[in-house]
Homo-oligomer: A and B are copies of this chain.
């Protein structure tokens, strides 16, 4: 196994570093690429050779496309700086020796998240309190809105709030303003907590970080606006919500999480909205969690979500 000539190899005598809460630091690698014989052995061998101990490993193979996916989490001896080196060495090995796409995170990383909202408070309030209760990893560091409605809420939970007016004519300027704010915060993720504007391909092309949206229907049913009204008119017996990565094509990005609830003829449109909001909240939080825990891989406009 010649790939181990790097300097990150096997120091089992050293101690394993811990985070602030005393939990051992771990490395989490997410890989995917063309399947070939020996991938599992190569990855496991690399870790073993460095004194590492696999905590979790999950593989998936898309037999039709012949693509291999892996999420592997391990501890290994050394300080945080050693782990950063190991993360880089692993990535290089995966890319160069295994021909895999790869990214590696360290469990103590605290990704920074920003939220875009309009007027509807439901999803923002829910995730803001989940973060306060430490139910979600990372941290929510700013909120941008095209309305003032949620400014008071943000103040009550000490969340920086930025109002950026957005009208049809001003859209490019608004998006520029938003981008400037987002970049100042050095975000790792942007979430749309019921943001009622369509982001331009330019914005999405520039932002450089993943964007997660929650849509209030079980996509691909009822895309676009007013899905609860559409569901009511069609007389469906099930409503849903979908969290997905945002792509240039509206409501068509890779789906991360979906949930549904049964309804009957007794439910009015406002009942659907109220019941649907419970789904939106839980699906949105679940997608954010899966993303921040490094459990989501995207390919072919679909996701592999390791649980």
Contact = CB atoms under 8 A, between A and B. Distances in A.
A167 B260 CA distance: 40
Number of copies: 4
A218 B218 contact: yes
Interface stretch (A35-43, A94-102, A110-118, A198-206): A35-43
Nearest to A255: B235
A235 B302 contact: yes
A277 B278 CA distance: 13
Contact of A60 (B59, B122, B219, B265): B265
A264 interface: yes
Contacts of A238: 218, 240, 258-260
Contact of A129 (B54, B125, B303): B125
Interface residues of A, number: 66
A265 B56 CA distance: 13
Interface stretch (A45-53, A80-88, A179-187): A45-53
Interface string A120-156: 0110011001000101000000000000000000001
Contacts of A43: 44
Interface in A219-276: 219-222, 234-238, 240, 254-260, 262, 264-266, 268, 274
A209 interface: no
A133 B122 contact: yes
Interface of A, secondary structure class, is mixed
A48 B41 contact: yes
Nearest to A243: B237
Query: Max chain B CB contacts within 10 Å: which of A41, A45, A56, A222?
Result: A41
B53 A37 contact: yes
Contacts of A169: none
Nearest to A62: B265
A282 interface: yes
A277 B135 CA distance: 10
Given A133-B122, A265-B304, A257 B234 contact: no
A274 B305 contact: no
A56 B61 contact: yes
Contacts of A240: 238, 260
Query: Max chain B CB contacts within 10 Å: which of A48, A237, A268, A300?
Result: A237
Contact of A220 (B59, B129, B222): B222
A58 to B, nearest CB: 7
A5 interface: no
A47 B58 contact: no
Contacts of A258: 236-238, 262
